[in-house]
A and B are shown apart, each in its own frame.
Chain A
Amino acid sequence: MSYSEFLGMGAELSLMAVIILLFIYDTFTSSKVGKYLPITAILLLGIQTLYLAFGNSLGLGGLNDDTSLFGGMYVSTNISNVAKIILNIGTILVFTQAASWVKEDDMKIRRGEYYVLTLITLLGMYFMMSAQNFLLFFIGLETASLPMTALVAIEKYKENSYEAAAKYLFFAVFSSALMLLGLSYIYGATGTLYYTGIASELTVTPLTIVAIVLFLAGMGFKLSLVPFHLWTADVYQGAPTVVTSYLSVISKGAAAYALMVALTTAFGSGSEVWFNVLYIVIALTITIGNLFAIRQQNIKRFLAFSSVSQAGYIMLGVMSYENGFGDASLLYYVLVYIFSNIAAFAVAGAIERASGKLNINDYDGLYKTNPKLSVAMMLAMFSLAGIPPFAGFFSKFFIFYSAIETGTIPMYVLVFIALLNTIISLYYYLLVVKAMFLKDNETPIATIKSDGYTKAVVFVTALGIILLGLVSCVYDYIYNAAI
């Protein structure tokens, strides 16, 4: 093995460089200069994103299509690169959202940790998505999971945050253990951990079926698929809002993509098994997520269950990977979901910081006092519900379209279930809109003066919700990378 192979991992190396730069900056600068950490983090990550997007065409190297390193353990393709770009965009938005949070007194001393830990989870996700070997995959998964626990607990003086972190850690360990068990069965059955090797050796036996189900269960935890989702609401509610929004979009997007790669390449010959298991899981996820979302009063719990349901829609893309639309529509859905959900969390976070209020009832009459935040929240809800012409409509359209394209009766049924659930979800998304715009309230939340960062993230996500669907080149870009 030559060490020059490391240079092929342009995406990971550049992200590592960002982490190290931020770490040095945070450790060795005075507190006076230290307050520029948020903007530095945003800018550095922005530059790294630009490198991912244009590095190839500028000939900067390290990002060649279909790089296969370390005997095929690590593979970088056009589409995995696009997936990384999408996650980066989401992370930049979360960082912008976080900028006003880390200025608070309690957070000031921890802001360095926040940024570095978040980026380390992102690095883990990078490896998870590019892995073609379950060892590398698992290391990536754990690199993404463990710092996440620290992030959930970062407001450790708050009991909620503490409890959430404990639950998250326990669940993460538990699901990792089960997944490792499943992977060890796979190793026992096929004698290899390489995706390609497994693909050629795998036969459907009770042992491999249990292995696949355990693997799905482990990933189901990350994606909060039913019945592996029960931690979601408690953790989302207890974690700081910024971390919740990261957890709900970035972590989920990465897991969805990595799961798709693993299922379609490694378990390709067992596809009938995971297809049917996933079928039931998706139908349950979308429906149960909705049923719980209807009853929620706390906006963060509400968004938690909404994100459970949305994960089911994302997984529809995996079901239709064979016709070539699956991966593109999955990533497009993730991108749109990032914008919609971060918009919702950014507004909820701004209101929480200003007034401490988190109940949907408290939003009554919000439009009178905070018209801009209300409109942004409305756009986010419309997009999550899939109302045209907002981006969420197009992402749902493409994901349903790719599912319908498979042309089998069971898929029609699944899409029908998903459509019915879209109607149900419309109800609870509109409840929020109704509270803000139609309900009268004598004491609405006072007008909030947001800082520049909050304004920026709300504006950019709202703009994204309006434009991502109408500007057709976004989907084309992803689609062209996928084929």
Chain B
Amino acid sequence: MDYSYSILILALPLFMFLTLALGGNKMSQKFAGILGTAGLLTIAVLSYMVAFQYFGMDRVDGVRDAEIAYNFEWLSFTDKLTINLGILLDPISVMMLVVITTVSLMVHIYSMGYMHGERGFQRYYAFLSLFTFSMLGLVVATNIFQMYIFWELVGVSSYLLIGFYYTKPSAVSASKKAFIVTRFADLGFLIGILLLSFYTETFSFDQLTAEGGFFLTSTSGATFLGCSVASWAMALIFMGGAGKSAMFPLHIWLPDAMEGPTPVSALIHAATMVVAGVYLVARLFPVYLSVPEVLDLITWVGAITALYAAIVACVQSDIKRVLAFSTISQIAFMIVALGVCTSMVPSEGGLGYMASMFHLFTHAMFKALLFLGAGAVIHAVHSNEMSHMGGLRKYLPITHITFLIACLAIAGIPPFSGFFSKDEILAAAFNKSMFWGVWMTVVAAITAFYMFRLYFGIFWGKEAKHEHTPHESPATMTIPLIILAIVTCVAGFIPFGEFVTSNGEAYHIHLDMTVAVTSVVCAVVAIALATWLFAKPNPKPEKMQAALPNLHKWAYNRFYMDNVYQFITHKIIFACISKPIAWFDRHIIDGTMDMFATVTNSVAEKIKGFQSGKLQMYVWIYIVGAMILAVAAIYTFVK
């Protein structure tokens, strides 16, 4: 099959970025917006073509083969260890192409309304293109090093977009925080890659994930601190993924990242970049299966994150922060789903892989919808605080309905998409053990509760005083909402198991009735509770808050995780490590350099006489130099 046109999927966004970045200031805002959106529309169409062609292909031996459309050798270190740049098409990368381009397109359209008249509008679109390019490059990477390169590029574009309002100090510090925290995690990622490639002598995904335990045989025997090198490498690689996907305890950057423009939060910090960690684990899934202890670690990290973020989300008052914690919690669901897998075969313990990817897909759509809806609300009332909202359903009918659909989806109410994917995750968790099943069901119930607290807080409840009457957003903003709402309604009925499974075989999704009924009942109870508490203005929430003052205070302050980090960085790292290093740098390193400079300068001063401009002198030096060299050589080599 010919996929040579897939190079355009990477080339176009890069071209758009260069055009908008270099020529943006000469364009009008409107033109830049339309140009960016038109470019993205083309890319989206190309991605759909790839998906259509790829999934339309017949299976070979019941398995979908990975297609390598391109693979350039970029740098070669040894005969075996080379870094390639290429395009790998397999079920998950093709699915990601569809997700990224769809959400990105929606965000491009939406931003034309949302960012209208902002200073730096062209720059904004240039960064969006850069992000899209990097993210697409990440998912189609043929080898782990290419993935790492694009991984960092994604981090940079996220940094640029979070700090888009660079005159606002909070945005600047949020962008720095996001960059530094994820870079810290990527350090682990890089060490993991180096360990892995040192032992396996390859970066390529096909070789790493090949059947027959290539990975394990090449690392067998090597141990470090009581664990095998294989476990260390894979755990460190997961650390990178955990940073990007905001897993506890590396989640602290994501809530702050909400300082960026809301459509950016929808694109990067809800639908695409933050799931890169999930994608990374899925990409290396066969390798992770061979190190079960790391898979257990992944499950624990995911489960703790899911619960933690869900509890924190219940008490936040900034609507974007609620959504941020909800994102963290939902990504943790996907991570748990991967962690509970025990085999490659979907029907024998490998269901989680499919469930995770399915949830990634549906979550991207409804979470983008939620963020864009939140953006429309913020656009209308010019505030992020829930106390400035309330009763908005009359003023924002379209936003209200679409937001409700997304809330129902994330709460897991049939027939919306979230129900189907979450149900598969719960089924996979129950398959592994009762413990994980119950844990995740509880988290799912909390999810339903805080989402409806948010929903009622915005659209029902007591109406806040507004300076001017809120009004519905322009069509450029509502159309993406409607499209995403439709996708959210129907995505659950996609026979996802036909397309993406752990071993590439078709898997027919069937609902496990016990799991489904339990989770729906839990969700409905949670929603009912939220309705009882928040649908009408009443004193019950305050009473509850008063009854559990400590829990509320702790949760509201996100269990003081940021303070812990502050303590560790300022009191321990800065004081004990950075200061001595700074001293060493200032006195020893700089001192050496100063010495160089002094010596260099004085020598230069002393020898300047040679360059006198007199030809006799030049020739004299020439001939004496040659003679000295000749005599020295004769003295050395003739015995």
Contacts and interface: CB of A to CB of B under 8 A. Distances in A.
A334 interface: no
B635 to A, nearest CB: 10
B601 interface: yes
Top 9 nearest A-B pairs by Cβ distance?
A227-B625, A230-B618, A213-B630, A291-B604, A217-B626, A209-B633, A206-B634, A210-B630, A213-B629
A158 B618 CA distance: 23
Interface stretch (A149-157, A166-174, A358-366, A411-419): A166-174
A42 B615 CA distance: 37
Given A205-B638, A206-B634, A277 B629 contact: yes
A21 interface: no
Given A209-B637, A291-B600, A424-B600, A233 B622 contact: no
Interface in B572-613: 593, 596-597, 600-601, 603-605, 607-608, 610-611, 613
B637 A291 contact: no
A294 interface: yes
A43 interface: no
B618 A295 contact: no
B630 A233 contact: no
A142 interface: no
Contacts of B619: 170-171, 174
Contacts of A277: 629, 632-633
A230 B611 CA distance: 7
A482 interface: no
Contact of A272 (B621, B622, B634, B637): B637
A209 B607 contact: no
Nearest to B633: A209
Interface in A257-315: 272-273, 276-277, 280-281, 288, 290-292, 294-295
Interface in A409-460: 420, 423-424, 427
A291 B633 contact: no
Contacts of B636: 276
Chain B's interface: helix, strand, loop or mixed, by majority? helix
B227 interface: no
A137 to B, nearest CB: 19
Nearest to A424: B600
Contacts of A226: 625
A23 interface: no
Contacts, number: 92
Contact of A280 (B597, B617, B629): B629
Contact of A231 (B618, B623, B632, B634): B618
10 contacts: A174-B619, A204-B638, A213-B633, A227-B622, A230-B617, A233-B611, A273-B637, A291-B600, A292-B604, A424-B596
B229 to A, nearest CB: 28
Nearest to B630: A213
B435 interface: no
A234 interface: yes
A204 B600 contact: no
B75 interface: yes
A472 interface: yes
A55 B565 CA distance: 65
A139 to B, nearest CB: 23
B224 interface: no
Given A206-B634, A273-B637, A276-B633, A294 B601 contact: yes
Given A217-B622, A230-B621, A288 B607 contact: yes
B74 interface: yes
Interface string A75-97: 00000000000000000000000
A178 interface: yes
Interface of B: 73-75, 593, 596-597, 600-601, 603-605, 607-608, 610-611, 613, 615, 617-619, 621-626, 629-630, 632-634, 636-638
Nearest to A231: B618
B133 to A, nearest CB: 15
A214 interface: yes
A423 B596 contact: yes
B638 A292 contact: no
Nearest to A301: B611
Contact of B622 (A174, A206, A210): A174
A210 B634 contact: yes
Q: Among the interface residues A206, A214, A231, A423, which one has the most CB atoms of the partner chain B within 10 A?
A: A206
Interface string A203-238: 011100110111011000100001110110110000
Contacts of B604: 291-292, 294-295
Contacts of B75: 472
B638 A227 contact: no
Given A209-B630, A228-B622, 16 more contacts: A171-B618, A174-B619, A204-B637, A206-B638, A209-B637, A213-B630, A221-B622, A226-B625, A227-B626, A228-B625, A228-B626, A230-B618, A280-B629, A288-B607, A294-B604, A472-B74
Given A167-B615, A170-B615, A273-B637, A214 B621 contact: no
Contacts of B603: 291
Contacts of B608: 292, 295
Contacts of B638: 204-206, 209
Contacts of A230: 610-611, 617-618, 621-622
Contacts of B621: 227, 230
Contact of B626 (A214, A231, A276): A214
Contact of A178 (B600, B605, B626): B626
Contacts of B613: 234
Nearest to A294: B604
Contacts of B605: 295
Contacts of A216: 629
A301 to B, nearest CB: 9
A434 B634 CA distance: 47
Contacts of B596: 420, 423-424
Contacts of A174: 619, 622
Nearest to A226: B625
Contacts of B607: 288, 291-292
